[in-house]
Structure 1
Amino acid sequence: MTTTTTPLLPTRVDADRLLSNLERLRAIGATPEGGVTRRAFSREDVKGQEFVAGLMREAGLDVRVDAAANLVGTRQGRGGTGAPLVLGSHLDTVPGGGAYDGAYGVLAAVEVAHTLHESGTVLDRPLCVMAFSNEEGTTGTPAMFGSRAVAGCLEPGELDLVVTGQDRALAQVLDAAGGDSRCVDDVRRAPGSVAAYLELHIEQGPVLIGSGTDIGIVEGISGRLTAEVTVQGQANHAGTTPMADRHDALLAAARLTVAVPSLTGPGGVVRVATVGDCQVSPGAWNVVPGRARVIVDLRDMSEDNLRAGLDRLRAMGQEAGSATGTTVDVTEVQRVSPTPCDPGRRATVRRVADALGLSSVTLPSGAGHDAQWMARVAPTGMIFVPSEDGASHVPYEHTAPADLVRGAGVLLGCTLLEGMTT
């Protein structure tokens, strides 16, 4: 399998090598169901990092693990020192996740570096390939640790949090994985110290595959607002309490859950809205629920829309409480602001896709990515390739080999354009 050579691309990626490396990495943490489990800082995650470090060396990169346990491969440019062009993503997965989420972006970036190395192509500026640590956040600690460390956005006391399934603090787990908890602040990069950041990723959604489009040009990463809805009712006997006398907390939570989709669509204010968690107390089949808690996830590219969505959610909670004789409290627990991608980087992706004869469309990213933190440091662009069935975070996550190679070719072209200072 080969890619097409164009005047923009004096060389091309090695398709067979890229696809082979993806399969070799898939085997590290492979599950019987066909998925992959490489939780951040786990033995499998470290083994995967060591494998990719070897590929980086073969690609002519100088390799190190920084204090935040990010894997970093660098190559000097023609101008020696200076602001580097950074390509990256992550290697950790959700439990039983797919083989392409994150890993594809890292291995495609390594393949770009290998292609430049083999062809003797030297960029004007340094090239840096990064595999960020703990992007998924499945350790019971906040997600995107590595990229937040680079952006200087770690939370106070974060290193003291106990990691899920281990009787150790994050600092200890980080050190065991090759990082250095004492020097994490040294990882921080000042705005402007990175020339540009590019991240190639599977879409994790149905837009590209549904429209038959080759390349997604990401306009930005959706903001996210997480709200905890607590319903206080009155527990009582399920057999003896008349229906008219009940204060059923679950009933109120259910009314609210059913109403949440109305926050989207023509009459709504946000792009998507989800109730993804529900807990009921006392949780017995023969007791009227006295307390319920649901978690609501709102996402949109507009901060104002997220704020309006929270206001509407609170109004809906009051209506549900009044109808059921319960008290409903809606509390915002986390907000991540929308992150627009840099217009210049979007133009670069479009230019390369056009030069390669690939169709493209501009679309938002509904999922979070390391790019949203790197955007605080550098002009940032994201490239999407299709996800079959729009599936991700599942064992059957898949992207066609031809699409994987096309995406790597676009990343190569963007690297050549962004890597030149004139």
Structure 2
Amino acid sequence: MTAAEQVRPGVDAGRLLTHLTRLAAIGATPEGGVTRLAFSPEDVAGRAYVAGLMREAGLAVRVDAAGNLIGARPGTAPGTGTLVLGSHLDTVVNGGALDGAYGVLAAVEVARTLAGHDLAHDLAVVAFCDEEGGHGTMGMLGAHGFAGALPPGIAKTQDERGVPIRDLLAAVGGDAARLAGAAWPPGEIAAYLELHIEQGDVLERRGVPIGVVDSIAGRVNVAVTVEGAAGHAGTTPMDHRADALAAAARVVLAVRAIAAEERVVLRATTGTCAVEPGMWNVIPGRVRLGVEFRDVTAGRLDGALARLSAVAAEIAAACGVSIAVEPGARTTPVDCDPRLRDLVAEAAGARGLDWHRLPSGAGHDAQIVARVAPIGMIFVPSRGGISHAPGEHTAPHHLVWGADVLLGAVLRFDGGGIARR
């Protein structure tokens, strides 16, 4: 039996839940949600609160050039690399209190639990900057900086309000002039572990408290433009119309069918629809749709794009319109590291907790960090699968169990030794 199994330290449940409640109050909305958009005063306040908790956990705190809040402590075996834990603190508008924030606070609690123990590896807890892209930024900005994957010239761009990225970063202690310095070289990170609420209902339906994530879905955004002919709604005969919206409606149903019926891809969604000229008495002449495909394999994303192009051509011919299908931003699917998956499962088993392997349909900072390090993810159940909304909720005991599994995985990765200082 290892030293870790003999001592079996657990997180302080009351402390973890208290910290989650206090952080949720920063940006709390009347509807019961949280609005803590990246770079906002609420984000700054939340980061300050968590920085204080990091210091209480014995971590040295800094903010890197990409705006990532980092708490770190050295290990006893230099050169073995850094074990990184983390997630993000920013939310969507009127989002939930747990998405991202839970992973950061649980990681801080793990660090605090181990404050009196030696670890061979360096330990770092990271609150990644701007995961959600709340004001039209690229999203996962901090994680891209952490992985050295920011697009060239990003510092010169602006958000949707016209605020330069360099000013946004400065507001949280970042430095656009030194973005290259935020990158961790490949090999420097021994492993990255992220604890997160599931944001789906698989675990809840199965009655399983711990999810061992085997892969994180990639996604591709697609702009679909339907060009018809605007005309008078009262005088244009039905059989003489090139109604862009009628054709677009068929595209929307086809997008759904690509996933729901044809099973070409895991998820397919039409999330936006802009109709021109947008008047009740004018036949729509142009419609712009925003489509997204998600899957855990790049080939299936390609298959969905090909299928959409083919069905769009069929609809265009049948409706007398033209349809352009233009792929946009794309995120590559990634697999979690097999060893880390096994360690998470072992940690759950050691706590007497059932676990289930599943993919993540949502994107996470982990899939960006995967460019420079092996990654692992742990899920806990989400009530009703609700996330990004005030109804987001995970039972307190599940939150505590998830943090305990993260702690167990850390100890197993480090070799099981937890000698007192």
Aligned position for 1:13? 11
Is 1:371 the counterpart of 2:328 in the alignment? no
227 and 137 in structure 1: CA distance in 2 versus 1, 3 angstrom threshold: same
CA distance in 1, matches of 2:163, 2:300: 40
Q: Alignment partner for residue 150 of structure 1, among 142, 146, 150? A: 146
Are the equivalent residues in 1 in contact too, given 2:110–2:407 (CA < 8 A)?
A: yes
Aligned position for 1:87? 85
1:7-36 Cα shifts (integer Å, max 9, x gaps): 265311000000000000000000011100
User: Once structures 1 and 2 are overlaid, which stretch shifts more, 154-163 or 190-199?
Assistant: 154-163
TM-score (normalizing by structure 2)? 0.96
Aligned position for 2:287? 292
Q: CA deviation at 1:121?
A: 1.2
CA distance in 1, matches of 2:282, 2:206: 49
Q: CA deviation at 1:368?
A: 0.5
CA distance in 2, matches of 1:357, 1:32: 39
Aligned position for 1:53? 51
CA distance in 2, matches of 1:264, 1:313: 11
Q: Secondary structure at the match of 2:5?
A: coil
Letter in 2 for 1:160: K
CA distance in 2, matches of 1:216, 1:266: 27
User: What is the 5 A alignment of 1:221-236?
Assistant: 221-236=216-231
Aligned position for 2:267? 272
Letter in 1 for 2:89: L
1:81-103 Cα shifts (integer Å, max 9, x gaps): 54110000000000100000000
Q: CA deviation at 1:340?
A: 0.6
Letter in 1 for 2:106: A
1:110-138 Cα shifts (integer Å, max 9, x gaps): 00000011xx2110111000000000011
Letter in 2 for 1:65: V
User: What is the 5 A alignment of 1:151-300?
Assistant: 151-165=147-161, 167-265=162-260, 267-300=262-295
CA distance in 1, matches of 2:164, 2:80: 36
1:44-66 Cα shifts (integer Å, max 9, x gaps): 10110000000000001011111
CA distance in 1, matches of 2:241, 2:358: 47
Aligned position for 1:130? 126
Letter in 2 for 1:412: L
Aligned position for 2:302? 307
1:123-180 Cα shifts (integer Å, max 9, x gaps): 0111000000000011211000011001111112222222234x42011111122111
CA distance in 2, matches of 1:82, 1:347: 20
79 and 421 in structure 1: CA distance in 2 versus 1, 3 angstrom threshold: farther
User: What is the 5 A alignment of 1:381-400?
Assistant: 381-400=376-395
Aligned position for 2:37? 39
Q: CA deviation at 1:268?
A: 2.2
Aligned length: 415
CA distance in 2, matches of 1:352, 1:164: 43
Is 1:66 the counterpart of 2:64 in the alignment? yes
Q: CA deviation at 1:79?
A: 1.8
Unaligned runs of 5+ in 1: none
Are the equivalent residues in 2 in contact too, given 1:221–1:368 (CA < 8 A)?
A: yes
Are the equivalent residues in 2 in contact too, given 1:9–1:413 (CA < 8 A)?
A: no
Q: Secondary structure at the match of 2:62?
A: strand
CA distance in 2, matches of 1:170, 1:155: 12
Q: Secondary structure at the match of 1:89?
A: strand
Q: CA deviation at 1:399?
A: 0.3
Identity among equivalent positions (%) equals 54
Give me the CA root mean square deviation.
1.4
Q: CA deviation at 1:267?
A: 2.9
CA distance in 2, matches of 1:39, 1:9: 40
Aligned position for 1:410? 405
Q: Secondary structure at the match of 1:142?
A: coil
1:198-249 Cα shifts (integer Å, max 9, x gaps): 0000000010011101100101110101111100100000000000000000
Q: CA deviation at 1:377?
A: 1.1
Are the equivalent residues in 2 in contact too, given 1:141–1:158 (CA < 8 A)?
A: no
Are the equivalent residues in 2 in contact too, given 1:149–1:187 (CA < 8 A)?
A: yes
Are the equivalent residues in 2 in contact too, given 1:250–1:289 (CA < 8 A)?
A: yes
Q: CA deviation at 1:419?
A: 2.2
Q: CA deviation at 1:250?
A: 0.6
116 and 421 in structure 1: CA distance in 2 versus 1, 3 angstrom threshold: closer
User: Once structures 1 and 2 are overlaid, which stretch shifts more, 266-275 or 251-260?
Assistant: 266-275
Letter in 1 for 2:15: R
TM-score (normalizing by structure 1)? 0.96
CA distance in 2, matches of 1:283, 1:419: 60
114 and 421 in structure 1: CA distance in 2 versus 1, 3 angstrom threshold: closer
Are the equivalent residues in 2 in contact too, given 1:6–1:356 (CA < 8 A)?
A: no
Are the equivalent residues in 1 in contact too, given 2:146–2:184 (CA < 8 A)?
A: yes
Letter in 1 for 2:149: C
